[in-house]
Amino acid sequence: MNDALSRELYARARQRLPGGVNSPVRSFLSVGCAPRFIASAKGSHITDVDGNEMIDYVCSWGPGILGHAHPEVLEKVKAACDAGLTYGAPTEREVEMAELLSVLVPSMEVSRLVSSGTEAVMSAIRVARGFTGRDKILKFQGCYHGHSDGLLVKAGSAALTTNVPDSAGVPADFVKHTLVAQYNDEQSVRACFEAFPDEIAAVIVEPVAANMGVVLPEAGFLRFLREITEKYHALLIFDEVITGFRLALGGAQEYYGVTPDLTTLGKIIGGGMPVGAYGGKAEIMRCVSPDGPVYQAGTLSGNPIATAAGLATLRILQQDRDIYRRLEAKTLRLRDAFLSAGAGIQVDQVGSLMSVFFTDTPVVDYAAAASSDTAAYADYFRFLLERNIYVAPSQFEALFVSDAHTQEDLDRTCEVIKEYFTHGICLSRN
């Protein structure tokens, strides 16, 4: 296995890009090797600049649910390009997208398109505050909602009162209205509402947490959030940037049968292009400018090329309702390979979302996820990479299966997983 050209590019990149990358997890820093620079991708495979063709379980962190370079999506994108790249004026496809969202995710009666998940969440929070006239928001430790200031928060020692920024450059004042509770811990949520009964604008949650590795909501947890937000007249926001169109066509809210007031989308909705969206009840969304007083705008929002890719992707998903069964079946094959081969690991899986944690502790929240042996994960990662299987270069990310993964891909992957857990651990650690 040769990665000379990737290494060369990485050396150049580090001169001119922070850490050599445009998003931190791509750097492979947590798995202790140089990142691969990708030249092309097709179906379930990506090929790096040295010509290594790898089975891809990152899928661009979720958007690639149909596999890379799906012919129908490419065709729509190419046709859209011929009509011009951007106008800064409304287009028919934006209307079609909003109409389709209201059908696929019925709670999104009215929605606004933006260009990333970060932007969608940041805007939804502003709407929740504008609508309720309240300042505080409640999030969960280990849930990621993009990199806007008010959401880069970790729980302090006295979580209710002393939350601290999770990033340099975020003034403590900017996170003083962000409360942090523990995922799957109803009591920690109740405590926040009891302390600030009239001040919490919204609870925001990943309905399946997928940014501390995949962590499932325990039975009744989402329904509890629905009930307590109603009781205190706060809004419930589901951040479905990962779960949207992945767990089901209607996202986690369809899968679990719990309806939020506002939903944020990203990743799959762009079909590989930069798209995000937020939306919800018409009554709430009427607050958004120019209908209402909550300002939010974007030069490239609803971009014609991006919406072409997104619409094509969503329509394929809509027309092929067996796809979610196929995706889950593939994921279960991998899950079973881990469960039969691995010791001292936990596998959290729902639908086509799955993570393998290197810990003995069942992973139900951030503390349990953080108990993982990240050095063991790094070891496993490198073993797979050397055998041309590309999984997330971090313990705290999901493994993504696409519709393009073949039985042959899965056979090979299961074989390597088995090899790692039976022989590889000592081989690569000695």
- Residue (101 or 416) nearer to ligand PLP, CB: 101
CA-to-CA distance for 56 and 58, rounded, in angstroms?
6
- Residue (117 or 130) nearer to ligand PLP, CB: 117
Neighbouring CB atoms inside 10 A of 15's CB total 7
Size of the site for ligand PLP (CB under 6 A): 15
116 binds ligand PLP (CB under 6 A): yes
Residue from 27, 44, 111, 118 in contact with ligand PLP (CB under 6 A): 118
Q: Which residues contact 100 (CB under 8 A, 6 or more apart)?
A: 311, 314, 315, 318
CB of 268 to ligand PLP, least distance (A): 11
Tell me which H or E stretch contains 316: helix 304-319
CA angle 328, 244, 339 (to 5 degrees): 30
In the set 10, 144, 255, 380, the catalytic residue is 144
CA-to-CA distance for 146 and 81, rounded, in angstroms?
29
- Residue (170 or 210) nearer to ligand PLP, CB: 210
**CB-CB contact of 235 with 201 (8 Å):** yes
Task: Establish whether 239 is a catalytic residue.
Answer: yes
Six-digit token string for 106: 């019925």
121 binds ligand PLP (CB under 6 A): yes
CB of 426 to ligand PLP, least distance (A): 35
241 binds ligand PLP (CB under 6 A): yes
Residue from 56, 94, 239, 397 in contact with ligand PLP (CB under 6 A): 239
Q: Which residues contact 28 (CB under 8 A, 6 or more apart)?
A: 34, 35, 393
The region of 80-88, 110-118, 337-345, 383-391 touching ligand PLP under the rule CB under 6 A is 110-118
- Residue (276 or 351) nearer to ligand PLP, CB: 276
CA-to-CA distance for 112 and 97, rounded, in angstroms?
10
Residue 129 DSSP code: H
- Residue (68 or 145) nearer to ligand PLP, CB: 145
Buried b (16+ CB within 10 A) or exposed e, 79-117: ebeeeeeeeeeebebbeebbebbbebbebbbbbbbbbbb
Q: Going residue by residue from 258 to 277, which x/- string records binding to ligand PLP, judged by CB under 6 A?
A: --------x---------x-
64 binds ligand PLP (CB under 6 A): no
Task: Establish whether 144 is a catalytic residue.
Answer: yes
CA-to-CA distance for 47 and 32, rounded, in angstroms?
21
- Residue (266 or 304) nearer to ligand PLP, CB: 266
In the set 3, 239, 403, 409, the catalytic residue is 239
Cis preceding linkage at 290, omega within 30: yes
117 binds ligand PLP (CB under 6 A): yes
Nearest residue to ligand PLP by CB is 117
Q: Going residue by residue from 344 to 383, which x/- string records binding to ligand PLP, judged by CB under 6 A?
A: ----------------------------------------
Q: For strand 399-400 and strand 389-390, is the pairing parallel, antiparallel, or unpaired?
A: unpaired
In the set 267, 366, 380, 409, the catalytic residue is 267
Contacts with ligand PLP by CB under 6 A lie at 116-118, 121, 144-146, 206, 210-211, 239, 241-242, 266, 276
What residues are labeled active site? 144, 239, 267
